[in-house]
Amino acid sequence: MAPRRRMARPRTRSGKRVFQEACVGCHDWSGESPVSSWATLIGAAAVNDPGATNVAQIVIGGTKRLTPEGALSMPAFGHAYSDDEIAAVANCVTARFGAEVSSLTARDVAEWRRQVPIRPIQALFTGQRCNR
Protein backbone atom coordinates (compact mmCIF):
# COMPACT_ATOMS: atom_id res chain seq x y z
CA MET A 1 0.00 0.00 0.00
CA ALA A 2 1.35 3.41 -0.94
CA PRO A 3 2.18 5.79 1.93
CA ARG A 4 -0.36 8.48 2.67
CA ARG A 5 0.48 11.90 1.31
CA ARG A 6 0.48 14.65 3.86
CA MET A 7 -1.90 17.46 3.17
CA ALA A 8 -0.28 20.87 2.98
CA ARG A 9 -0.93 22.72 6.22
CA PRO A 10 -1.76 26.41 6.18
CA ARG A 11 0.96 28.75 7.35
CA THR A 12 -0.58 29.08 10.78
CA ARG A 13 2.64 29.70 12.68
CA SER A 14 3.08 33.14 11.17
CA GLY A 15 -0.68 33.60 11.21
CA LYS A 16 -0.82 32.80 14.93
CA ARG A 17 1.93 35.35 15.57
CA VAL A 18 0.04 38.05 13.66
CA PHE A 19 -3.21 37.09 15.42
CA GLN A 20 -1.46 37.39 18.79
CA GLU A 21 0.00 40.80 17.91
CA ALA A 22 -2.97 42.41 16.21
CA CYS A 23 -6.20 40.52 16.79
CA VAL A 24 -6.40 38.69 20.08
CA GLY A 25 -7.08 41.81 22.16
CA CYS A 26 -10.41 42.41 20.43
CA HIS A 27 -11.31 38.94 19.12
CA ASP A 28 -9.77 36.68 21.83
CA TRP A 29 -8.23 33.25 21.21
CA SER A 30 -11.72 31.77 21.55
CA GLY A 31 -13.14 33.92 18.73
CA GLU A 32 -15.69 35.35 21.19
CA SER A 33 -15.05 39.06 21.40
CA PRO A 34 -14.80 40.59 24.88
CA VAL A 35 -15.50 43.97 23.24
CA SER A 36 -18.75 43.40 21.37
CA SER A 37 -20.75 40.49 20.03
CA TRP A 38 -20.42 42.23 16.65
CA ALA A 39 -16.66 41.56 16.74
CA THR A 40 -17.06 37.84 17.48
CA LEU A 41 -15.46 35.70 14.79
CA ILE A 42 -17.26 32.40 15.42
CA GLY A 43 -20.25 32.12 13.11
CA ALA A 44 -19.29 35.16 11.04
CA ALA A 45 -20.00 34.68 7.34
CA ALA A 46 -16.60 36.13 6.37
CA VAL A 47 -14.79 33.60 8.57
CA ASN A 48 -16.84 30.71 7.18
CA ASP A 49 -16.02 31.63 3.57
CA PRO A 50 -13.22 29.25 2.49
CA GLY A 51 -12.02 31.92 0.08
CA ALA A 52 -11.35 34.28 3.04
CA THR A 53 -11.68 37.28 0.72
CA ASN A 54 -13.50 39.47 3.24
CA VAL A 55 -11.21 38.45 6.10
CA ALA A 56 -8.14 39.53 4.15
CA GLN A 57 -9.77 42.72 2.86
CA ILE A 58 -10.83 43.76 6.37
CA VAL A 59 -7.34 43.05 7.73
CA ILE A 60 -5.88 45.16 4.92
CA GLY A 61 -8.29 48.10 4.99
CA GLY A 62 -10.07 47.95 8.34
CA THR A 63 -13.78 48.47 8.74
CA LYS A 64 -16.35 50.56 10.53
CA ARG A 65 -19.71 49.09 11.41
CA LEU A 66 -22.73 50.79 12.88
CA THR A 67 -24.32 48.58 15.53
CA PRO A 68 -27.25 49.09 17.88
CA GLU A 69 -24.64 49.91 20.55
CA GLY A 70 -22.97 52.52 18.32
CA ALA A 71 -20.03 52.56 15.91
CA LEU A 72 -17.49 49.73 16.11
CA SER A 73 -14.24 50.03 14.20
CA MET A 74 -11.37 47.75 13.35
CA PRO A 75 -8.22 49.55 12.25
CA ALA A 76 -6.46 48.74 8.99
CA PHE A 77 -3.37 46.56 9.29
CA GLY A 78 -2.39 46.63 5.61
CA HIS A 79 0.43 49.05 6.35
CA ALA A 80 1.79 46.94 9.21
CA TYR A 81 2.00 43.45 7.71
CA SER A 82 3.34 41.91 4.52
CA ASP A 83 1.22 40.10 1.96
CA ASP A 84 2.53 36.77 3.31
CA GLU A 85 1.58 37.71 6.87
CA ILE A 86 -1.92 38.85 5.90
CA ALA A 87 -2.48 35.63 3.95
CA ALA A 88 -1.20 33.65 6.93
CA VAL A 89 -3.47 35.37 9.46
CA ALA A 90 -6.50 35.03 7.19
CA ASN A 91 -5.73 31.32 6.77
CA CYS A 92 -5.24 31.00 10.53
CA VAL A 93 -8.57 32.71 11.26
CA THR A 94 -10.55 30.49 8.88
CA ALA A 95 -8.77 27.37 10.18
CA ARG A 96 -9.39 28.22 13.82
CA PHE A 97 -12.87 29.77 13.69
CA GLY A 98 -14.39 28.85 10.33
CA ALA A 99 -15.86 25.75 8.76
CA GLU A 100 -13.01 25.25 6.27
CA VAL A 101 -9.39 26.25 5.98
CA SER A 102 -8.61 28.85 3.35
CA SER A 103 -5.47 28.78 1.27
CA LEU A 104 -4.76 32.40 0.46
CA THR A 105 -1.41 33.30 -0.98
CA ALA A 106 0.65 36.45 -0.87
CA ARG A 107 -0.26 36.93 -4.54
CA ASP A 108 -3.99 36.96 -3.66
CA VAL A 109 -3.37 39.54 -0.95
CA ALA A 110 -1.22 41.70 -3.24
CA GLU A 111 -4.10 41.85 -5.73
CA TRP A 112 -6.63 42.81 -3.03
CA ARG A 113 -4.24 45.35 -1.59
CA ARG A 114 -4.41 47.21 -4.90
CA GLN A 115 -8.22 47.28 -4.63
CA VAL A 116 -8.73 48.08 -0.93
CA PRO A 117 -8.10 51.60 0.36
CA ILE A 118 -5.93 51.54 3.47
CA ARG A 119 -6.68 54.11 6.12
CA PRO A 120 -3.67 56.11 7.27
CA ILE A 121 -1.53 54.68 10.03
CA GLN A 122 -2.88 57.37 12.37
CA ALA A 123 -6.14 55.40 12.48
CA LEU A 124 -4.43 53.08 14.94
CA PHE A 125 -3.99 55.94 17.37
CA THR A 126 -7.32 57.75 17.19
CA GLY A 127 -9.48 55.57 19.38
CA GLN A 128 -10.39 53.08 16.64
CA ARG A 129 -8.57 50.31 18.45
CA CYS A 130 -10.70 48.37 20.88
CA ASN A 131 -10.81 49.70 24.41
CA ARG A 132 -10.59 46.70 26.60
Does any domain span residue 131?
no
Q: Which residues contact 84 (CB under 8 A, 6 or more apart)?
A: 11, 14, 106, 109
Q: Where are the alpha helices (DSSP H) in the chain?
A: 12-18, 24-27, 45-48, 53-61, 83-97, 106-115
7 lies in a domain? no
Task: Answer yes or no: is 48 within a domain.
Answer: yes
Report which DSSP code applies to 26.
H
Please count the structural domains in the chain.
1
CATH number of the domain to which 28 belongs: 1.10.760.10
Query: pLDDT truncated to tens, each residue of the chain (132 aa)?
Result: 555 444 444 444 599 999 999 999 999 999 999 989 989 999 999 999 999 999 999 999 999 888 888 888 899 999 899 999 999 999 999 999 999 889 999 999 999 888 877 665 444 434 444 444
Host domain of residue 33: 12-125
Global confidence as pTM: 0.77
Q: Report the pLDDT value the prediction gives residue 2, as an integer from 0 to 100.
A: 52
